[in-house]
Structure 1
Amino acid sequence: MDRLLLGPHAPEPHASDPHAGPAEEAALGALLRCWLREVGGPRGHVRAVGPHLTLRVAGTPVRVRARGGIALRFDGPPEHLVTGEGAEGRWRPLNLPALVALLERELDGGNEEFAAQVRAGREAIAAILAARERSVPPADPWLASEQALVAGHPFHPAPKAHGGDGWLDYAPETHARFAPRLLGVRADLVAQEGDTAALDAFGGAPAGYLPLPAHPWQLDLLAADLRGPLADGRLVDLGPGPRAVVPTSSVRTVYDPGTGMCLKFSLNVRITNCVRKNAWYELSGAVELTRRLSPVFDRLARRFPGTRWLPEPGYRSAALGTRLLEGLGVIVRTGPWGVCGPGTTPVLAAALAAGADGVPRAVLARRAADPVAWWEAYVERVAYPVLDAFFRHGVVLEAHVQNVLVGFDAAGWPVEAVFRDLEGTKLVAGRHDLTGLPGEVAAPLSYDAAGGWNRVAYCLFVNHLAEVAATVAGTVDDVLRALWAAARATLSRYVEDHAAGPAEPLTRLLAGAPLPAKANLGVRWARAADRTAGYVPVPNPLAQPGPRVIGGQTGVETLTEVCGERG
């Protein structure tokens, strides 16, 4: 008899569901990666034994084959050692309910909210896979890459879990398209700043009103709050908009083919760690940052040709109390086709990290033919402007894989990097004059220098470069080592040629200091806000080859040898 107590969690996936297996594999892999990074490694519970990582979760032996360095790509199913009557110490496949139960024991208690989110993530992946079989991907190669992220964040315990109902109709992974609902806002109640011409292009409104596109899912979520304003004429419902928009990877941001612009809607829904509404101070903050960053990106583009960004020049909402001001707020964002050069195709970095789906064939062919040269060009295009923004300009770019588009030429070479989403962009405190801004707007725009560097290092190296490198290398450990050696050389050139003043945090990384990785499991387990998420140290693949002590923690030392050296 299996001695694991599974508890009252999700049943096994139905064998009749053809998507249950892939969904289970994706959800199990994400949760196990989180455990390895945030709990097992720091506690010293992970060792390399032959081709496997072996670990103990709540005292139970678990093993899995891993490659990809700190990206932790698994080859084959994880297994646990089953003991007890008649079991004879046999290794058997580990399933998601069993892993959740073990984690609860390891972390000293049950957490039904956490378990429910993990189950919901698995069910969402199965639903996405089924829907994709009935859908047609977009012809636009950039949008195809935006809609390719079936499994989601590889280091989140429930990457595809959504709050609310009806999400499948609006999910980018299902190749959804939908018409926004058009509201009219009485002119004296319009709240807006900046350039909002893209919103006016969605259609006219009656005299005395301005048009406001709205996400249909959000209108369902806010139905009770909208009854009064719709009944007394402060708002009018003008019906579906004149054309369909296409959701991008963040779910709530859509592309409007009619104007070539993007619209960032509010959604009162938790996706990964955050409820995805546009806070009132973020509405004003987007316009303020667009104004401040324009000269910064001009200078970055001169220094590093091929650097692009997507400004957020305006927003519009309705001044009907904080809940509706935030809930109906729409931020206008420039579309990538408007900033990329002729002959350049933008591709979401997250699709490049995830595999081949949504990636143009020319890119796949060039990457396979000359992976190290392709990678050197990639690192230079992406990393140089991010580092220079921080060291020279005091700007923190959140360059994780969902916030960066990489522009490729017809031969598949990376020639541009496009940075987006000003919600995560911050200014280093003390290096920018924020006087004159309301305190509630100014405070969220800043990080202190140490917090800003942690965010840069995590997003750029751990979330982005490590994941793309693992995909480029595939199953070949020697290629992965060559990629990181090339990255180290490329970044060393940046320090020599471009760094403005001391670049001490980067030189420490090049010397082998550990990298900070965001603790997504920890923040979800604690039911805490995303802004409270901490970091855990992970092995640094930029370090020179050879075992080394990192951080004085046995678990981290072990993972350095396992994931940093063996690949």
Structure 2
Amino acid sequence: MTGLALDSPAAAVAEEASLASLLRCCVREVAGPRGQVWHAEPYTLLRVAATLLRIRTHGGLALRIEGTPEWLDRGCWQPLSVDMLVRLVETELGGSNEEFAAQVDASRSAMARLLAVRRGTSPPADPWLASEQGLVFGHPFHPSPKARGGADWLRYAPEAHASFPLRLLGVRDDVLAEAGDTGPLDELGTAPRGYTPLPAHPWQLDLLAAELAAPLADGRLIDLGHGSPSPRMAVPTSSVRTVYEPRIDRCLKFSLDVRITNCVRKNSWYELAGAVELTRRLEPVFRDLSASFPGTRWLPEPGYRSADLGTRLLEGLSVIVRASPWSVCRPGVTPLLSGALAVPGDPPDEPVRWWRAYVERVAPPVLDAYLTHGVVLEPHLQNVLVGVDTAGLPVEAVFRDMEGTKLVAGRHDLSGLPERVAEALTYDPADGWNRVVYCLMVNHLAEVAASLAGAESTRELWAVAGEVLAGYAGSRGWPRPLADLLAGAPLPAKANLSVRWARSADRSAGYVPVANPLAVLS
């Protein structure tokens, strides 16, 4: 592990967290589907590459791990390490993937560096931004949740409590590319006559330096520095490439040509057009959802701006304008990232009451968006903010990120859109339902329930969730997909280990069935 001593406290915590993530993946995607997982209280046993492992678990579907994982060596249990587990996974899966071990190691090293840096920094005073910057360990079911490309990632890392000034370019008006409402961007600084200001992520400008040389030399682009002087800097949110710009009270989603977990994080040209199109189409949908489920909010993405200098720079310099959560939450309500609420911490005074309010805010609008409106929201832990009142009780749910939001094929007229834009905006009904159920039940509610229950059983919490979902199902005439869900049909869980092993695009990720925690209640 580079940069830190192997026996440092940060390195030890990173090792523990990395091992837990990879073990969860093994249970869900490797040993589980092969029938090689057993429960022998107080342990869960699994076999990987003919080697027997044992772990202590709690949290139900979230599979929280406590204590030291072990492997059986000639009749004696020995501590398990990340490096050994990687070798077992490589043997079990066969074939060749020379990137896999390096990705796991890079993620572990990143965690250690982040933990070390955080000891000497302070989180933002804004509670929402502090929650955005608190996800040190990343996706709990990913083999390399903090793998991050690029040499300068730490200076721009939200987990390191980073903040920085954006750069401002001037785009000559004859090569300006934009759509929708981009007016707030003009408040970041002025450009000479014949040019339009374009904010840029400083990391991305470094990554694109070679491609930018020609347009900067011939005047199609000009470098305006940091725009209007301001002591308030941009703050990166949990996705790394989306920042909050306090000067205009907007979130700005940039492209970053680096791999973060599964994907190179860029705004594809068709996603730029799609964000504006979806915002237009979703305005009436969210008006209806807000009327049916008070407290439902969303963050529109009304416009994008870039430079029409070929696809590479059109995508690479693009910025999508997004509303900020403070602008949509009512006074007295504080938005918090759901992912931060899934991190173990101090539970509320009345956890069951808190949980009921949480599920009531989050689940029904997601289900109704799909069943009533044919809209697939992507309510995973980084795409949902929960607004809490002064007593800390959930009273609002804020949904964001149009990239993951889709329309159910056959329920919307997309005939006027370019074919590639329309294709990127749609899911077929089955894929859409799988995405909704995975994000809502497996990725989101299971993790929050596990943190709320601590080491205790989550059964009571799932009983409450079942009551909330049944109440919604009854109000809609018990639609078949929801009836099956409440009857205990297996849930789809995204196969992050498999897609990393295959080195496939994230959109190619499949699902594996996992036990439905509502099954024992039906």
Which range, TM-score by smaller chain?
over 0.9
Matched, 1:22 2:13: yes
> For residues 216 and 339 of structure 1, what CA distance do their matches in structure 2 show?
28
> For residues 27 and 61 of structure 1, what CA distance do their matches in structure 2 show?
19
Task: Return the letter of the residue paired with 2:482.
Answer: L
Matched, 1:423 2:403: yes
1:110 deviation in Å? Answer: 4.1
Which residue of structure 1 lines up, in the alignment, with residue 492 of structure 2?
516
> For residues 17 and 215 of structure 1, what CA distance do their matches in structure 2 show?
33
> For residues 80 and 293 of structure 1, what CA distance do their matches in structure 2 show?
51
1:13 deviation in Å? Answer: 7.7
Which residue of structure 2 lines up, in the alignment, with residue 188 of structure 1?
174
1:14 deviation in Å? Answer: 3.3
> For residues 198 and 53 of structure 1, what CA distance do their matches in structure 2 show?
54
Matched, 1:153 2:139: yes
Matched, 1:540 2:516: yes
Task: Return the letter of the residue paired with 1:25.
Answer: E
Matched, 1:56 2:34: no
Which residue of structure 1 lines up, in the alignment, with residue 382 of structure 2?
402
Which residue of structure 2 lines up, in the alignment, with residue 551 of structure 1?
none
Which residue of structure 2 lines up, in the alignment, with residue 379 of structure 1?
359
Q: Is the 8 A contact 1:66 1:72 kept in 2?
A: yes
> For residues 19 and 221 of structure 2, what CA distance do their matches in structure 1 show?
46
CA deviations over 1:380-405 (Å, ceiling 9, x no partner): 10001000000000000000010000
1:333 deviation in Å? Answer: 0.1
> For residues 238 and 349 of structure 1, what CA distance do their matches in structure 2 show?
37
Matched, 1:442 2:422: yes
**Within 5 Å, which residues of 2 pair with 1:62-461?**
62-83=53-74, 89-241=75-227, 242-243=229-230, 244-356=233-345, 367-461=347-441
CA deviations over 1:212-236 (Å, ceiling 9, x no partner): 0101111111111001101111101
- The TM-score normalised by the length of structure 2 is 0.98
Deviates more, 1:104-113 or 1:320-329: 104-113
1:168 deviation in Å? Answer: 0.3
Matched, 1:481 2:481: no
1:12 deviation in Å? Answer: 13
The SS at the match of 1:513 is coil
Matched, 1:464 2:447: no
Q: Is the 8 A contact 2:273 2:421 kept in 1?
A: yes
Select which of 483, 491, 509 maps to 2:469. Answer: 491
The SS at the match of 2:439 is helix
Which residue of structure 2 lines up, in the alignment, with residue 563 of structure 1?
none
> For residues 172 and 12 of structure 1, what CA distance do their matches in structure 2 show?
19
The SS at the match of 1:465 is helix
- Superposition CA RMSD, Å: 1.3
> For residues 521 and 375 of structure 2, what CA distance do their matches in structure 1 show?
32
1:112 deviation in Å? Answer: 1.8
1:109 deviation in Å? Answer: 3.4
The structure, 1 or 2, with the larger RCO (C-alpha pairs under 8 Å, 6+ apart) is 1
Q: Is the 8 A contact 2:188 2:248 kept in 1?
A: no
> For residues 181 and 353 of structure 2, what CA distance do their matches in structure 1 show?
41
Task: Return the letter of the residue paired with 2:192.
Answer: P
1:49 deviation in Å? Answer: 1.1
> For residues 70 and 205 of structure 2, what CA distance do their matches in structure 1 show?
45
CA deviations over 1:310-352 (Å, ceiling 9, x no partner): 0000000000000000000000000000000110000000000
The SS at the match of 1:135 is coil
1:171 deviation in Å? Answer: 0.4
1:355 deviation in Å? Answer: 2.5
1:415 deviation in Å? Answer: 0.2
1:249 deviation in Å? Answer: 0.2
CA deviations over 1:442-467 (Å, ceiling 9, x no partner): 11000010000000000000000000
Paired residue total = 519
Structure 2 unaligned spans of 5+: none
The SS at the match of 1:368 is coil
Q: Percent identity?
A: 66
4+ aligned runs moved over 3 Å, structure 1: 10-16
Change (3 A) 1:344 1:12: closer
> For residues 62 and 99 of structure 1, what CA distance do their matches in structure 2 show?
10
1:92 deviation in Å? Answer: 1.2
1:502 deviation in Å? Answer: 5.7
> For residues 456 and 20 of structure 1, what CA distance do their matches in structure 2 show?
36
Q: Is the 8 A contact 1:13 1:21 kept in 2?
A: no
CA deviations over 1:462-488 (Å, ceiling 9, x no partner): 0000000000000112xx110001111
1:517 deviation in Å? Answer: 0.3
Change (3 A) 1:496 1:418: same
Change (3 A) 1:278 1:408: same
1:11 deviation in Å? Answer: 9.4
Task: Return the letter of the residue paired with 1:333.
Answer: R
The SS at the match of 1:288 is helix
Q: Is the 8 A contact 2:3 2:113 kept in 1?
A: no
Q: Is the 8 A contact 2:30 2:48 kept in 1?
A: no
> For residues 210 and 389 of structure 2, what CA distance do their matches in structure 1 show?
49
Which residue of structure 1 lines up, in the alignment, with residue 504 of structure 2?
528
> For residues 406 and 449 of structure 2, what CA distance do their matches in structure 1 show?
27
1:543 deviation in Å? Answer: 1.2
Q: Is the 8 A contact 1:192 1:317 kept in 2?
A: yes
> For residues 543 and 12 of structure 1, what CA distance do their matches in structure 2 show?
47
Task: Return the letter of the residue paired with 1:259.
Answer: I
> For residues 24 and 503 of structure 1, what CA distance do their matches in structure 2 show?
45
Which residue of structure 2 lines up, in the alignment, with residue 46 of structure 1?
37
Task: Return the letter of the residue paired with 1:349.
Answer: S
